[in-house]
Homo-oligomer: A and B are copies of this chain.
Amino acid sequence: MKRYLPLFASAAICAALPVSAQDAKSYPAPSEIVAAAKADDWVAIAPSDILVMELAPDSKGKQRRVIIQLMPAPFSQGWVSNIRKLAAAHWWDGTSINRVQDNYVVQWGDATEKKALPQGLSVVDAKNYVTPDWPTKDWILARADGRPDAYAGAHGFYLGWPLAQGREGLWPVHCYGMVGVGRNLSPDTGTGAELYTVIGHAPRHLDRNIALVGRVIEGIEHMSSLPRGTGALGFYEREEERVPILSVRLGIEAKDVPAFEYLSTDSDSFAAYADARANRRDAFFNIPAGGADICNIPVPIRRKAN
């Protein structure tokens, strides 16, 4: 009775109509579309775009490693540059996860708020939350249903990232696992030393209000399954509840870091995958949704085969 609650469902590019179980067999599942993608549909993630965060082992002594991919240009590069400097300075070593708020965020950084920052960090203007539009005819709206976004004029994927678009330009969106920069009240925009990741329903009201700088690509379960904080906003109330961060390193410095790759969001494979996510037609489903919100179409990322 329980095995069939769907994770992977099959689909194809056609009208969003109910299909019989017989028909459904001929539709590949999203996971099958991804698995069948050609080798050159995959794009390598450079080690210089990766952060490796080692948390203290769990209560059973198990290693907890979280891998983050930093956002590429032209998005949020002022903060991303700061983060590279912080990692190179080993600034996060000895800091901690201090906040776990259910259905919202996990946040980490210096709980004392007194640790000196490395020299040379930039102060980034809030206007950089949004990137002015540039010739982007090749960034595709992956959803075939044409339904608009509750939070933006349009949305889609570009360079492997989920983005929204409005009159003022493009901006990355707060989906599950995205990493952003904590800040004080505006005009402060944060340095990048205080970071959070989304562990619940996409809090897209934060879009254009906080810098997004990356996403967790492996090990988010080490953060999302932490005990929730009982203080205001989910902060841990006692020091011993905090989860120590042993180290944070750039991929070019960390040891034993696997190579990762993402499915090109310009590829036909991705378009077919996105359609399959929006219109599931395997035998489990009676009614394909006929649409999907952008945060329900996670970009496929995997360890690269050797």
Contacts and interface: CB of A to CB of B under 8 A. Distances in A.
Given A104-B7, A107-B5, A150-B293, A283 B202 contact: no
Interface residues of A, number: 79
Given A1-B182, A2-B99, A2-B194, A151 B291 contact: yes
Interface in A125-153: 126, 129, 143, 145, 147-151
Given A150-B147, A150-B149, A284 B200 contact: no
Contacts of A84: none
Interface in A1-31: 1-7, 9, 21
A113 interface: yes
A122 interface: no
Interface string A138-178: 00000101011111000000000000000000000001110
Interface in A204-256: 204-210, 220-221, 224-228, 233, 235
Oligomer: number of copies:
2
Given A151-B289, A209-B287, A5 B196 contact: yes
A103 interface: yes
B201 A113 contact: no
B5 A233 contact: yes
Contacts of A296: 201-205
A273 to B, nearest CB: 14
Contacts of A284: 185-186, 209
A292 interface: yes
A283 B225 CA distance: 31
A105 interface: yes
26 contacts: A1-B194, A2-B99, A4-B183, A4-B184, A5-B99, A5-B183, A5-B196, A5-B210, A7-B233, A9-B205, A103-B177, A103-B224, A148-B148, A151-B289, A151-B292, A185-B283, A186-B286, A201-B296, A202-B296, A204-B289, A204-B293, A205-B278, A205-B288, A208-B287, A209-B287, A225-B227
